[in-house]
Amino acid sequence: MWNSRLNALCFISLFTATLVGCGTKDPLQRQGATGIVTLDGTPVANGTITFEPLSPGGHSSGATVTDGAYKIPAERGLPPGEYLIRISAASHERSETNEAGGDVPPPAKELVPTRYNAKSDLKRTIEAGKPNKLDFELTTKTK
């Protein structure tokens, strides 16, 4: 009788440990995202893209944009839902000298209109279980 109770206890412990170990590795169900960012038809050389959740308590993520392409891998990706997108790209033009005569460059000029970053209204949905290829064709012309 003692032996059968010990076997039952071992079985229950092993079964419970198995159930606990079968939990989702990522409870947020993060999804990756990739895409191309162009400005007036030209790939953005260097910039950033940020996904900000529209629902409270969500998680944001972002990536650098290089030669028009960005990639957010799933391990640092976004839970499914709607996001506000902000895209920035700074000019790398530098002046020879500053007012004091030094080599300190002036602040970088933002190449992307504010309607795509500081005052962005770009929105996209991240979907679970699908490739999230989200391209952005930005223009400097006002609508």
Q: Write the pLDDT tens digit of every residue in 17-41.
A: 444 445 557 788 999 999 999 999 9
Pick from 23, 35, 103, 21: nearest CA to 67: 35
d(CA 87, CA 112) in angstroms, rounded, equals 7
Is 77 exposed, middle or buried (CB count within 10 Å of its CB: 0-12, 13-18, 19+)?
A: buried
CB-hemisphere CA count at 13 Å for 74? Answer: 13
Query: Residue for token digits 């440990």?
Result: 17
d(CA 2, CA 19) in angstroms, rounded, equals 26
Question: How does pLDDT run along the chain (143 residues), one tens digit per residue?
Answer: 445 554 544 445 544 444 444 555 778 899 999 999 999 999 999 999 999 999 998 899 999 999 999 999 999 999 999 999 999 999 866 545 555 556 666 678 999 999 999 999 999 999 999 899 999 999 999 86
Phi, psi dihedrals of residue 134, rounded to the nearest 5° = -120, 105
d(CA 7, CA 142) in angstroms, rounded, equals 75
